Amino acid sequence: MIVRALVIGAALTLGSCGIWADKRAARMEASAEDRWPPVGRFVTEGAVRVHYVQDGTGPDVVLIHGAGGNLRDFTFSLMPRLVEAGYRVTAFDRPGLGYTGRVDPAYDRAFAPSAETPQEQAALLAGAAKQLGVDTPVVLGHSFGGAVAMAWGLEHEASAIVSVAGVAMPWPGELGAYYKVLGSSVGGALVPPLVTASTDPMNTGDVLEGIFAPQSAPDGYLAHIGPGLSLRRDTLRANARQVNHLRPHMVALSERYPEMTLPVEFVHGDADTTVPLTVHANRAVSVLPRARVTVLEDIGHMPHHADEDAILAAIERALEHAGRSG
């Protein structure tokens, strides 16, 4: 997510740089993992190590991050705020991102043709949550995490869903060149070493500003989230392939929305150009039996940083509609 602007240029310089790129990429990855180590604990679900952070007491809230990110997106500010408000909060790294492993070892191959579906991710994280004693949580998903949250609500125990700038519906048109190149089996094998080797993680601030636009990223956010983790070769592949193969799974999920009886709260900025309000929340609410949309004026793709109060209010409404009080 934070490097799409860098990928096309890297593809043009592929040539004979493979050996140099792989060696330097390995050093860059080791440096990134030293600088941004796991901040939580691990639980093994099936054969997969799942990285999580859990804190607080009260009604359970699960947090699922977006494309290219990791659970540090939530530990920066939102998670402490929820703990202070009286929730037990569990944030997960999604498969292949942060420090969580892959659902299927085949997905780890450099030339793998696909990656984890939202349904597979939901099954993994719901199983991990159950091991941690988390039953019927409010499941909050941001961006790609919104798709995982919707799959969780359809197939696993939850009390309510909160979708924050979340992917909820299939979209018209095609993805950009970033995902076409990096999401393919060949591009995903050949391009990531060059991106990893040639990119200083702390020089990705301009790309980050594009994600937050029209707001700005909070001071200290880039250093906190660990951009070097997103730039690892396997992480680049996992992220791009998950997004590249997402649309057909959203077709399948959205066809089942009329059967979802859980409350669903959408919180979406009307200035979001990454996951547009009109394509996702505004369409999904018309087919979900118990859904509502809160539109945030002039807010972009990161409402959980731009308006934390709106997120807390949505969680509280979700609990109330589910028959529980936070």
Q: How far apart are CA 240 and CA 7, in angstroms?
A: 11
Q: Secondary structure of the chain: what % helix, strand, coil (to 5)?
A: 45, 15, 40
Each residue's pLDDT tens digit, 190-230? 888 999 999 999 999 999 999 999 999 999 999 999 999 99
Confidence band (pLDDT; 50, 70, 90) for 182? confident
What phi and psi, each to the nearest 5 degrees, are found at residue 110?
-60, -35
pLDDT at 15 (0 to 100): 44
Which whole-number Å values give the CA distances from 142 to 26, 33, 118, 280, in the listed order? 30, 24, 13, 13
pLDDT at 188 (0 to 100): 74
Each residue's pLDDT tens digit, 101-146? 999 999 988 888 889 999 999 999 999 999 999 999 999 999 999 9
Per mean pLDDT, which range of 41-45, 150-154, 287-291, 322-326 is the poorest?
322-326
Domains in the chain and their CATH numbers? Answer: 4-321 (3.40.50.1820)
Q: How far apart are CA 59 and CA 211, in angstroms?
A: 31
* pLDDT over threshold 90, residue 69: yes
**What DSSP assignment string belongs to 158-202?**
-SEEEEES---S--SS---HHHHHHTSHHHHHHSHHHHHHH--GG
pTM of the model: 0.93
Q: How far apart are CA 221 and CA 206, in angstroms?
A: 13
Confidence band (pLDDT; 50, 70, 90) for 176? confident
pLDDT at 324 (0 to 100): 60
Query: Mean per-residue pLDDT for 303-323?
Result: 97
